[in-house]
Structure 1
Amino acid sequence: MPANTPHSLTRRRFLALGAGAAAAAGLAACSTGTSPATRIGPASPAVAGAERARRATGAPVRQVSLNATVGEVDLGGTTVRTWTFDGRLPGKEIRLKRGEVLQARLSNGLPQPTSVHWHGIALRNDMDGVPDLTQAAVAPGGQFGYEFTVPDAGTYFFHPHVGVQLDRGLYAPLIVEDPADGADYDTELVVVLDDWIDGTGTDPDAVLAGLRANGMSMGGMGSMPGMGAGAMQGMGGTLLGGDAGDVTYPHLLANGRVAAAPTTFATRAGQRVRVRLINAAADTAFRVGIPGVPMRVTHTDGFPVSPRQAEAVLLGMGERIDAVITVPDAAVPLLAAAEGKDGYAQVLVQPGDRRAGVANDAALATLKTRPVLTVTDFAAADAVSLPEKNPDVMHDLALAGPSGKYVWTINGKTYDPKEGLPVHQGQRVRLRFVNMSMMYHPMHLHGHTFQVRGAGGRGPRKDTTIVLPGQTVEVDFDAGNPGQWLAHCHNAYHGEAGMMTIVSYVE
């Protein structure tokens, strides 16, 4: 597929061409490396050894309890029955310092098995929370104790890695502080963005079942709540390059509230606020900004970048961005518009007693016309940039779908935990994400932070990056965290429909 696919080429016509699977197989053959002989599994001594190397003698231990429960939550005038951690939406933030040890006891009060994945953390492999790969799923009524060192400061979050449970309310921020934090700001605002469908006449499991039963055909989807026009509503979106999503969501949330009843952040005019943005959505990218208030972007996915001034930024699912703003005299909305879809979420930034109203159409229109920074606009700060080096191994990941009814693949195959892309400890690894579909994919690598190869070879450090339709994105990382690590699309429905593979450390 050419880099700029004409908008007249519809998804259904593209599928009819029947070329995706064959081309994907050809790209898969371009990967270097051999089939793994002996995998370094989560119980390997090498995994325990890597954790010992990360953990300082006498490192402080932070203990938390996570109770996965079923109950009702108020989205701001709309009450839904859903699954959450401890009845909160988002769950309670976990905050600790770099180098500390987190002990988290999960109790499963859900009707399904579950787990916790610590998104973005370079943790020990047996604590990564991927059933059938790094641990057994925690059965209903069961418990599991997670324990690991947090080696890198930054903005992270946690969520399940079972089915499409991410598209319920099971997520919360995980903030790892650096001793140097606070030098350029006075206070913090953490904003978690989400798209919401659970408890609105359907649930994520029913939505996935509908996609698998009916495929992407318009006629077959119209009767399924939460589906229909949403699957094609983003065609031709300039930032996303094509389809904006497969699901129509009745609500968009910022910190658990709909736009009509937003949370308020009380502050003072002139204060410098570090805004930590987290996109926990399952199927929606957000364009985020404060009309009339510039943002100084300082971090992507937890790692510092050369600061850039921005009027708006784009966040795909699983991505995080940190930015510093100076609070104006008047109250303003921090807006998150669904890119290529209808609707928005917001948090009101309120200095003193100067109350802000709900964002109006003019504010939203302003956000949609402002310049937007994306991954290609950022470069890693010198302190975290990888030394220039030719890769020891390179793997292509051809992203294709949806074939059949609703199948998304990597290298022509759906996820198989017994297969993977082999790497060896100490290697410089290059992954080439080659998007052969008509939809963007936010690709996430567990257990590592890679460097996107931008202009001049030095893009930002990230663990999740958008790959646009018809485009190729190259990322490099140093293989220094042994184990079996998932690499997958962070659209929850694409991942569950097969778009996952494994970066497999081998001996």
Structure 2
Amino acid sequence: MINRRNFIIGAAGLVSATQFPALSLARTSSTELELIAGPAKKKLFRPDAEASDVWAYNGEVPGPEIRVRKGDRVRVRFTNNLEEPTSIHWHGIRIDNAMDGVSGLTQEAVQPGASFVYDFEVPDAGTYWYHAHNKSWNQVGRGLYGPMIIDEPERPFDSSHDITLVLDDWRLRRPGVLDTESFGSLMDWSHGGRLGNWITVNGGAVPVTALKRGEAYRLRLINAANARVFEIDPNRFDAKVLAYDGQALSEPISLAYAPAMLGPAQRMDLLVVPQENFALEEVSSDDPFVMAEFKVEGVATAAVTAPAVAINAIPEPDIANARRVKVLMEGGAMGGFVEITYQGKKLQGEDVQSTRQTWAFNGVANLADDPLFVAERGQTIIIETINRTAWVHAMHVHGHHFRVISRSGSEVDEGKPWRDTFLIGPNQTTEIAFVTDNPGKWLYHCHMLEHAAAGMTTWFTVA
């Protein structure tokens, strides 16, 4: 488990309170959903504060919660009412490559006023999310994201006991409105990414949720922040971990090493059987910050047996016969001189300022003409990622789930759970293993969105 013993990301001191917003699903027919991206107004700070200019799906931040069942075919008619091109990535879902939503790689970006139909089947139950994947540093940072929950064929938790919590941090300026002028700051791109100074859960600050005493609940945590790593200790309210990144564990576990680090794009499902009021807190500082409160009501009944959560079938890596690929991460502030090639040219002098490319994988910034590797279908790949930068990164593999098989300087997560995003600290080396069972062109990139834009993006092909 990545935890405080490995590295610490500080959180800004925050205070607040707003109402818990509803997440709803827009449906145009029994088989087709509708998502519309466009400008909107939203109060992110106190109820008496000014509304911020945000970008939203169907006018909501987060966007509507899309909820389907494992094995369903999903059709989403997406319309772009922004003034710039965009696309939607369905994060963590082992999706058909043409529907992955990566503009410039798997599809052309959807132009202003145009529409695109995403049509795919969902193979795995779990907690996922969707977000913009064109200029993500700008579009996700302004609010273009939402939860996607894929239920088991037989739901172990009913709707009143299955709660989604989308975490985000926002950079606000006085009088409590979104700071839009600082998007694209080279300081953010070359340092730790765009960190905010205000935390919301499901679009509001410190929501309060009523729970029944002694009953089992699933809390689905999704980190939608551009760069913030949330530090969370489930042991503070006797919760157990049910799943990481949408993939259920064989049984609920209590964390031996807490708190846990929830990086950008990562998810964590928790099992809680509340007896007293409790709070979900960010605990990276000496004074924990309350992100959400839970009021426990009623009288406890007999002892509860927590529902069993089904495990998805993901092919196990064949470590003994794996092909190894090395990725050296370099660059960024305090990284020393690094020779970077971008679009076939070695950057010199003021090129960094003009191209804004400050990071590199194996000396290359951003999408190279050639893939990082080409794999046969069904091949086991081990990616050894070596972080020679001064910063933490959240590395995401598209189209696949993997196991972390080694991590220098710290423990490998108990049971080596399936993940689609992993955290790697400064001067740390991490190995992941997965089976390339999904054909197409897939990204491997840092989900600190400013880092991805500034060079930490590559791709691979499954033939």
Give TM-score scaled by structure 1 length. 0.71
Query: How far apart are the structure 2 equivalents of 1:160 and 1:84?
Result: 10
Query: How far apart are the structure 2 equivalents of 1:161 and 1:442?
Result: 16
Q: Tell me which moved more, 191-200 or 299-308.
A: 191-200
Q: Which residue of 1 aligns with 2:10?
A: none
Relative to 1, partners in 2 of residues 1:334 and 1:430: Cα closer, same or farther, differing over 3 Å?
A: same
Are the aligned partners of 1:132 and 1:417 in contact in 2 as well (CA < 8 Å)?
Answer: no
Are the aligned partners of 2:385 and 2:431 in contact in 1 as well (CA < 8 Å)?
Answer: yes
Query: How far apart are the structure 2 equivalents of 1:83 and 1:177?
Result: 28
Q: Tell me which moved more, 68-77 or 79-88.
A: 68-77
Q: Which residue of 1 aligns with 2:253?
A: 308
RMSD, aligned CA: 3.0
Deviations 1:32-79 (A, max 9, x none): xxxxxxxxxxxxxxxxxxxxxxxxxxxx97421101010101224242
Which stretches of structure 1, 4 residues or longer, exceed 6 Å deviation after superposition?
A: 183-186, 340-343, 380-383
Deviations 1:341-400 (A, max 9, x none): 99846121112399xxxxxxxxxxxxxxxxxxxxxxxxx989757254324422111111
Residue identity opposite 2:261 in structure 1: L
Q: Which residue of 2 aligns with 1:271?
A: 215
Q: Tell me which moved more, 193-202 or 156-165.
A: 193-202
Identical-pair percentage: 32
Q: Tell me which moved more, 262-271 or 147-156.
A: 262-271
Question: 1:133-144 counterparts in 2 under 5 A?
Answer: 133-144=105-116
Report SS of the residue matched to 2:140: helix
Are the aligned partners of 2:124 and 2:312 in contact in 1 as well (CA < 8 Å)?
Answer: no
Query: How far apart are the structure 2 equivalents of 1:132 and 1:464?
Result: 22
Are the aligned partners of 1:444 and 1:488 in contact in 2 as well (CA < 8 Å)?
Answer: yes
Q: Which residue of 1 aligns with 2:198?
A: 251
Q: Which residue of 2 aligns with 1:431?
A: 383
Give yes or no for the alignment of 1:211 onto 2:187: yes
Structure with bigger helix share is 1
Relative to 1, partners in 2 of residues 1:462 and 1:290: Cα closer, same or farther, differing over 3 Å?
A: closer
Q: Which residue of 1 aligns with 2:325?
A: 395
Report SS of the residue matched to 1:207: coil
Deviations 1:307-353 (A, max 9, x none): 32136422000100111011123x2221234x479984612111239
Are the aligned partners of 2:79 and 2:116 in contact in 1 as well (CA < 8 Å)?
Answer: yes
Question: 1:65-104 counterparts in 2 under 5 A?
Answer: 65-77=34-46, 78=49, 79-104=51-76
Relative to 1, partners in 2 of residues 1:254 and 1:381: Cα closer, same or farther, differing over 3 Å?
A: same
Question: 1:101-500 counterparts in 2 under 5 A?
Answer: 101-163=73-135, 164=137, 165-182=139-156, 187-197=161-171, 200=177, 202-203=179-180, 206-211=182-187, 245-258=192-205, 262-289=206-233, 292-306=236-250, 307-310=252-255, 312-329=259-276, 331-337=277-283, 339=284, 344=289, 346-352=291-297, 386=316, 388-402=318-332, 404=352, 407-416=358-367, 418-420=369-371, 421-454=373-406, 459-500=416-457
Are the aligned partners of 2:194 and 2:450 in contact in 1 as well (CA < 8 Å)?
Answer: no
Residue identity opposite 2:364 in structure 1: K
Relative to 1, partners in 2 of residues 1:419 and 1:185: Cα closer, same or farther, differing over 3 Å?
A: same
Return 5+ residue gaps in structure 1 as ranges: 1-6, 8-59, 217-230, 232-244, 355-379
Q: Which residue of 2 aligns with 1:504?
A: 461
Relative to 1, partners in 2 of residues 1:477 and 1:387: Cα closer, same or farther, differing over 3 Å?
A: closer
Report SS of the residue matched to 2:280: strand
Deviations 1:275-329 (A, max 9, x none): 1110010010001246741111011111122432136422000100111011123
Q: Which residue of 1 aligns with 2:23?
A: none
Q: Alpha-carbon deviation of 1:501? A: 0.3
Query: How far apart are the structure 1 equivalents of 2:246 and 2:124?
Result: 8
Q: Alpha-carbon deviation of 1:146? A: 0.2
Are the aligned partners of 2:172 and 2:197 in contact in 1 as well (CA < 8 Å)?
Answer: no
Q: Alpha-carbon deviation of 1:184? A: 11
Query: How far apart are the structure 2 equivalents of 1:266 and 1:313?
Result: 25
Residue identity opposite 1:132 in structure 2: G
Return 5+ residue gaps in structure 2 as ranges: 1-6, 8-28, 300-309, 333-337, 339-351, 407-411
Deviations 1:458-478 (A, max 9, x none): 611110000111111111111
Query: How far apart are the structure 1 equivalents of 2:33 and 2:226?
Result: 26
Deviations 1:424-474 (A, max 9, x none): 112111111111111111100001111111459961111000011111111
Query: How far apart are the structure 1 equivalents of 2:153 and 2:59?
Result: 32
Query: How far apart are the structure 2 equivalents of 1:457 and 1:298?
Result: 13
Aligned residues between the structures: 389
Are the aligned partners of 1:61 and 1:103 in contact in 2 as well (CA < 8 Å)?
Answer: no
Query: How far apart are the structure 2 equivalents of 1:481 and 1:408?
Result: 28
Q: Which residue of 2 aligns with 1:52?
A: none
Query: How far apart are the structure 2 equivalents of 1:166 and 1:315?
Result: 18
Residue identity opposite 2:403 in structure 1: Q
Give TM-score scaled by structure 2 length. 0.77
